[in-house]
Amino acid sequence: MPTSPRREPPAGVAGPEYTRTGVPDSRPVPAVRTHDEIARLRVACRHAAEVLASVAALVRPGVATDELDSAAYDECARRGIYPSTLNYHGYGKSVCTSVNEVICHGIPDSRRLKAGDIVNVDVTVYADGAHGDCSATLCVGEVNPVARRLVLGTLGCLQAGIAAVRPGRPLSDIGRAIEGLATQLGYSVVRQFVGHGIGPRFQTGLQVLHHYNAGECLVMQPGMVFTVEPMINAGTHRAVLWDDGWTAVTADLARSAQFEHTVLVTASGVEVLTANDLAPTGG
C-alpha cells in the first residue's frame, strides 16, 4: 500500500490531552454541555467547517490524499488550532480521506485520486478547549450517475437525521429517519460506526446510531452536542477493518459515502454548528 510519514504536532499550537501520549481522556462526562462549552464549540466548529471547505477546494484528479492532509495541517497551523485526529489513539495524520469502498478512517497517503472516484474528507479540529467535527463526500472530476446518486442520497440521509433532532425525543428518531430514507433509496446503513458526543473531549460516551434501534431510549435534551454522520453503502452494511487498525472498507467492496455535522440540541430544535456551503458533486 502507498505510505507517507506521520505528522508531528504543529509547533506552538495548544493541543488536547492526547497530543503527546496518544491516549485520550476516557473519564465520563455529562451529556449536556455548559454555556461556556457551547460558546467554545461554536468557535471550533466554525474553524472545522472552514478547514473542510479549504481542503475540499483542492480535490481534483491527480491530487494525492496526503497532499490534502498536508493542506489541512498547514491551514490548522495558520489558524493556531490543532487537527484533532493527529495522535488520537496514535493516528498519524491530520484528516481522514476515505476513497470509494473505504467507509471511514482512510489514512492519507501517496495515492492519487482519479476522475470518477468519490472521497470523504473528515476534518476535526481542537480550538479554545473544544473539538468541532465534520465531513463531506466529494466527487472527483466526472463521476458516473450511480456514484453521484449515492453521494446525493447520503447527503439526504444526513439531512433527514438532523431534521429528526428535537428536544424531548429519543435519539433513536435519528436512526429511524436515516435508515428509512436509505432503505427507500436501496442502500444500507453502516452499523459498526456511530455518531458521538463531542465537546472538550473528541468523543464522549454519548453514541448516536444511524440505524433504528428501539432500545436506544436516551432522550435528547437542550445543550446536548453530538455528531450525525451516516455512512451509507451501495451494497452490504458490513465493514471489514484493514490490518492498519483504522481503514474500514465495505465487505463486498461496493462504494460508500458519508456526510457529517456537529449539531446542538436547542430548546426548539437543532442548530448545525458546522454548517457549510459545499457542493459535493461539483466537477
| pLDDT per position as a tens digit, 105-147 | 999 999 999 999 999 999 999 999 999 999 999 999 999 999 9
Closest CA to 254 of 243, 240, 266: 240
Closest CA to 121 of 133, 138, 109: 138
Closest CA to 107 of 177, 7, 209: 7
The pLDDT, as a whole number, for residue 279 is 75
The pLDDT, as a whole number, for residue 283 is 45
Q: How far apart are CA 160 and CA 28, in angstroms?
A: 29
Q: How far apart are CA 206 and CA 203, in angstroms?
A: 8
pTM of the model: 0.96
283 burial via Cβ count (<10 Å: 0-12, 13-18, 19+): middle
Specify which residues 231 forms β-bridges with.
Answer: 258
The pLDDT, as a whole number, for residue 22 is 97
Grid cell 485520486 is found at 113
Q: How far apart are CA 9 and CA 83, in angstroms?
A: 8
| pLDDT per position as a tens digit, 234-247 | 999 999 999 999 99
Give the confidence band of 1 by pLDDT, cuts at 50, 70, 90: low
| Ordered domains of the chain (ranges, CATH) | 35-272 (3.90.230.10)
Give the confidence band of 5 by pLDDT, cuts at 50, 70, 90: confident
Supply the DSSP symbol for 88: G
| pLDDT per position as a tens digit, 66-87 | 999 999 999 999 999 999 999 9
When comparing pLDDT for 64 and 279, which is higher?
64
Whole-number mean pLDDT of the chain? 96
Is 50 within 8 Å of 56 (Cβ atoms)?
no
Q: How far apart are CA 246 and CA 95, in angstroms?
A: 12
When comparing pLDDT for 1 and 36, which is higher?
36
The pLDDT, as a whole number, for residue 180 is 98
Give the confidence band of 190 by pLDDT, cuts at 50, 70, 90: very high
The pLDDT, as a whole number, for residue 2 is 60
Contacts of 265 (CB under 8 A, 6+ apart): 165, 166, 167, 220, 221, 222, 223, 224, 225
% of the chain with per-residue pLDDT over 90: 92
H/E segment holding residue 263: strand 261-265
Q: How far apart are CA 272 and CA 256, in angstroms?
A: 23
Q: How far apart are CA 268 and CA 165, in angstroms?
A: 10
The pLDDT, as a whole number, for residue 278 is 83
Give the confidence band of 281 by pLDDT, cuts at 50, 70, 90: low
The pLDDT, as a whole number, for residue 39 is 98
| pLDDT per position as a tens digit, 39-54 | 999 999 999 999 999 9
